[in-house]
Every structure is written in structure tokens, then in C-alpha cells.
Structure 1
């Protein structure tokens, strides 16, 4: 058995047997999510939890004063920021803002790959937020989080690949492994993190371009379209897809008569999201 085949066999076996070491979500995000989900947490209590992380607190205040949220007057403290946004939105934003911690590298190889993956995820997140705002009734910040999370299944594959010198020397095979298996791994990660089914579905099905459940547009539709948009003009295999054959476009009510979704009118919003994540 080749090194690549052995890598894949071990990976899938560990997944099936529940022995695969999944990444963990930062503690502050877990606390805020669980408290807000309980329905009994006040804005003051949420702010107190976030305040244990000074960097996160500063980022949240920066975000609430950004063009995305257009506060009527500057907000300079955390309780006001949480009150302005509301617990539900803060929950999504906190998870989004701490996600970058998951992309920390220990080697130059991993740093390059994780940096590229993070930048792609942020681009998809920014487009997803815009699409949700313009074409759906879905919460824009949940759509943004969905975009950030859609490729989370690539993380453990990349980190495991560092221990396989032969695989590191064969980027084509490594990329194929990621393309084929990151949805399944991402689904397991988000399920282990106890994310809502709508977000778990994004990780599991965003590569299923023929998906057509026949219901109202959902987060998977948004991320499918945003992901395809992000690859427009590149040499990625998704850049060759015929958008008119993708049900997600129809379900969102987006015309495929043009080869790119019109984003110029929303460029400020997209750039604001990218700045939020230091891109």
C-alpha cells in the first residue's frame, strides 16, 4: 500500500471508529454560545464572559463601530457593544472572531497552507454575508460564520499531512484528499462542537453542487454560491462549472446570465468583513 493510500486508510478508519483527534473550539466561544443558547443570559452576563479575553473584547468593539453595523454614535465599551448587537448576533460574531486561532501553524509548510485556507474562508464568509443580506431572510452573521466554517474539515488533514513526508512531496494527491474528504470531516467536527444542524449541513454539503432539497433557500445554498464566486477567474476546478446548472443559484433567485454575481455595489460591505478578519 502506498503512503498516500495508507494515510487515507488510517484517516478514514479513525473517523469511523471515533478515534480521530478533532480540533477544539476556543473556550470563550463555547461559553458564550452555551450561555446564549440557554435563553437566560443577559447582555451584561454575555459581556462579562467576553471580557475575560481582552483581545476579543477590543475586536468586538471595533466591529460594532465598523460600516457593517453603522452604530448611530461611537461605542467604546463592551456592555454597550453587546446591547447594541444583541446576544444572538454576538454569539455568531464571537465564534467567527476566534476561528482564526484554529489556523495557527507550527511549520512553514503549514503556515502557507493555513494562511491560504483562512483567506479563502474569509472571502467566502464576506460574500456569504452579502448574499444572505441581498437574497434571503437568513441572518447575515450566521451566513458569515457558515462561510468561515465551510472548509474546517481541511484543518486536520493538513495537520496530519505534516507527519507524512511522501504526502508533503505530492501536493496533487494532498489536494485531492482534501477535496474529497474535507466535507465529511468538517461535518464530524461541527457535530462534535454541537453546532446547529444548519451549520453542520454547510460543512457536509457545500461541495454538492447538484443539491436541490426543494425548500426555501438555506445556508448551504448561500455558501455554495459564495464558494463558486470566490473561485471565479482562477484555475480551480470550480471556475469551470456552468452556473446555470447549479440549483443554489435558482433557489437564491440569482440570474446566471452573467458569469459573475454582481458584487461591486456591495464592495464596501465585503471589504469591511475582510478587514474584520485582518485580510
Structure 2
């Protein structure tokens, strides 16, 4: 059994010595993020930034015309697409495109695990967006982004595992490491990306079922409930627990016995989000 503390120390040392590079946001993503944070930013100013990246531009127009956001008329103009989607959704799309590029294996042995990590992120993101619909103090698109990045700390662990034959062959040990140390790694990535504290908290706290961040639900609560909902009915150990004792359910306003996906309209909304991010 691998010493998780030693593994984490080794991983952070590799990062500090530039032997293992954390994923970084490209220039266009940084500019979009910074523009979204500025109150004086406009749909035109953000569209001008997006226009510098052909792949992102095409993706933005595709999503603006998807069933989830489609209006009465089709859109073929980036400024109109930004106006329809909203700046936070545009930022989520930029980050999701980067993450899709990040979650690419360099070895066939871990291909399935990389794909699983991304698909889990999208499922949690879709449900996080739905769960936030009745939480007026939270933003739906921000909640979706929180879901997309909640398990990003898994990536460097898989990258390190690719250089450790024993770890690649021991799936149970690999999953144990991911469960134990992905949180601080995820926080470090988001800090390096300059994310707000409300999102940096997500990878570090969503696994803590006793988490209590205050009277009102925050993005940790939403992601926590969304993730558990994706496990409902499975044989996962977390699905066997008494969810009524988890504070996040009451804050989000969801009965632990209820399957959110079975609520009218939810399955359709979730499917439409999955189409956007999974194709």
C-alpha cells in the first residue's frame, strides 16, 4: 500500500521543481475570465476576445443554438451568442473546453479512467445547474462550473500513475489515492488559475459530508448533493449512508429520499447539458 502522504509530498515536490506541470489556462481563457469579472465588460468586448480563437467561437455559437439555450431565431453572431448565454456561461464553456483537452490520456492503460473522470464531472455539473434553479442567491452557470471542476485534482494523480507500473495495475490502490489526496491538488490548481474562493472551496470540501459553510447553501453544498445524487441506487459506499444526516441536503432544499433526475423536466435539462459537454 502506497503512503498517501509521501505520494502527495512527492507530487507537490514534482510540481515545485517543474517536473510535473499543472494544467494552465491559455491566454484566451484568462482574458475571458478577467473580462467577466469586470463589471464594465460587455457582450461585445467578450465576443471580441472569443473571436481570437476559432474553435471556441464555433463552440460558443453551437451552444447558443442548442436546445438548452435556443431562442426563437438562430444566432450566427458572437456578440449575440454572448448576450444570449450570459458571461458566466461563456466562462464555463471556455474552462470546459480546456478541461476536455486536459482530460486526455497519454497512455491507453488509463484512457478509461480519464474518460470516467470527465463524464463524472459533466454529470455533477448538469445536476448542480438544476439544483441551483431554486437557490436565488447562487448562479446556475457558476454552479455548473463548480461541478465541472470539482474533481480536477484527479488529473495530476493519473498523470503520476502513468509513470508507476504498480499503481496502474492496482486499480483499487489508485482509487484510494484519488479519494484521499485529490482535494488539496484540486485546490492548488484552482488557486493557480485565479478562481474565486467560492469555487476553490469545492474540490477541497465536497467529499466532507459534515461540511457546514453557513446558513445558506453555497457551491460546495450544491456539488455535494449533485454528486451523491449521481450515486443514488448504486452499490457505491456513499450511496449506502443515511443522507438525512448530511447538512447540504437541507440547505439545498432536497429531500434525501428524492431522486432529482425523476423530477419532471430534470432529465431533459441534464441530457441537454451532457450533449453540450460530452457531444
TM-score by length of 2: 0.91
Where 1:277 maps in the other structure, the secondary structure is helix
Q: How far is 1:172 from its partner?
A: 0.9
Contact conserved, 2:216 with 2:251, CA < 8 A, in 1? yes
Q: How far is 1:170 from its partner?
A: 1.1
Structure 1 residues without counterparts, runs of 5 or longer: none
Aligned twin of 1:9: 6
Compared with structure 1, are the counterparts of its residues 8 and 169 closer, same or farther at alpha carbon in structure 2 (3 Å cutoff)?
farther
Q: How far is 1:262 from its partner?
A: 4.8
Greater shift in the superposed pair: 223-232 or 38-47:
38-47
Aligned twin of 1:75: 75
Q: How far is 1:169 from its partner?
A: 1.6
Greater shift in the superposed pair: 264-273 or 45-54:
45-54
Greater shift in the superposed pair: 70-79 or 84-93:
84-93
List aligned pairs for 1:109-124, cutoff 5 A: 109-124=109-124
Contact conserved, 1:110 with 1:159, CA < 8 A, in 2? no
Q: How far is 1:49 from its partner?
A: 1.4
Compared with structure 1, are the counterparts of its residues 102 and 225 closer, same or farther at alpha carbon in structure 2 (3 Å cutoff)?
same
- Quote the Cα distance in structure 2 between the aligned partners of 1:163 and 1:48: 41
Contact conserved, 2:8 with 2:181, CA < 8 A, in 1? no
Compared with structure 1, are the counterparts of its residues 10 and 173 closer, same or farther at alpha carbon in structure 2 (3 Å cutoff)?
closer
Contact conserved, 1:61 with 1:77, CA < 8 A, in 2? yes
Where 1:148 maps in the other structure, the secondary structure is helix
List aligned pairs for 1:21-60, cutoff 5 A: 21-60=21-60
Where 1:105 maps in the other structure, the secondary structure is coil
User: How many residues in Structure 1 have an aligned counterpart in Structure 2?
Assistant: 275
- Quote the Cα distance in structure 2 between the aligned partners of 1:56 and 1:39: 23
Q: How far is 1:8 from its partner?
A: 5.0
